[in-house]
Structure 1
């Protein structure tokens, strides 16, 4: 495993490896796992998925342009030594760990914006966040030129937004969405979980519990409309006194179009997602549940 900081150095290293592979009659495949570090088992699962590529590139970069002025950029958890140990364990080939001045040597005047999909959910409560995400991911795609890029479905909106960007701009990369990884008690793994107090963490379990209950209610046809599903989710989360809801919504996926509250879930001819963002103290957590059409089809 090697660690690289400069984008140009990474481009040259990958060009060299592709050239050497081509001389041997082999087309090298590259898998990219973009992260902001403070790695956990969720990231490790992405790296294991990426191992099907010849070369696995892990990027670790806390991207300042996706944080708002009142968000946690300065206190975002960082632990480079632990990250490198996990990368070594997961047999990463190249760790790309640029500094801010490497990625943004001067104030960036070019940003990529995906319309509509970014106006809802986290995009509504974090203006400009997804412009920062799409811009930095586009930069990583240009630097690494990966064949595959791996993203966790915990941030399903991010997966939808980046997929739209790739399609719209004809980027030659395949996005691979990977399942949410959870603690044994159901809490979705997140680098921000370290901010939670013991009581906040205990109450945060309502997120996964309410989504699991919602899935059961929908698949057993005990909840039939989008509005009813949102109300049931909201009521369950509000049963915890420390929970401060940012949003609870039910949308189409991956289009992220809102559903009329009277629409019957089992009449919709596509996939749906129930998405949550809830604060416990100063820590904002997100979670979601995907309802695939095959799971909610009407019983015949």
Structure 2
């Protein structure tokens, strides 16, 4: 194994692989116990991870609270990223929050104030607009975040799931430090335009779901094992029609990883790191063992032919099903094939 070069993220240099904290509280069925979450978070620090990514949406504030409770004593050791503009709101007054996209300046500022308290910090290093609220101009939303920078409540601004043109409009208002979008062997939308736009503007590209929402780990052999409230149940690639077809790709991918001398998850991450020095994957996990496996991917040297073979095997032409259901598409701004 080799010592990886750190990658630029705004004014910071970070380990090439960060930690996405969402599934410690949200989205993929029953979250792990607090004790297990603590093992993962502190284990990530011990493994050299210095970028932790959360959001107001995750667990409707619970994930930010978890991060604050466990990592506040270590605040100087990592870059803290969170998100606003999409959060849980108790619309019906029944104590059951629903997801709402709201990019109005007053909402973003109020969300930030609440996040600072939950995260137990005076400043958030990287604060993303989680989704562009298309009822509000991107200039107005980013302008509100720029106010937070001037007030010293956040240090830099990020955008999530935006197109290259939206990035350019936002960047003209205030420098954007990072764009976060799904990117993996099986989700290539970023390759249309925004990946190159980030490189040209010196913006880091933070890749979420880099192991394809667990698919590329090989751990999910059947969709029947997914919890009832697991968000993957609504995603077309995990449908009863498409998943068996995608599993055929996975079997060949696992063989390729074996030939490369690494795990399938590591091959997926090595491929992603090879796509550009400005790319920082943030896999998520509830397992300390899987965390260590992911982190070690940045230290591996895999033969170029194996990386190229992975690219040829799994891509937008070979995968079955779009990445999101049709109902979600209006919420995102990323380019589509």
TM-score, normalised to structure 1, is 0.35
Greater C-alpha radius of gyration: 1
Query: Which of structures 1 and 2 has the larger relative contact order (alpha carbons within 8 angstroms, sep 6+)?
Result: 2
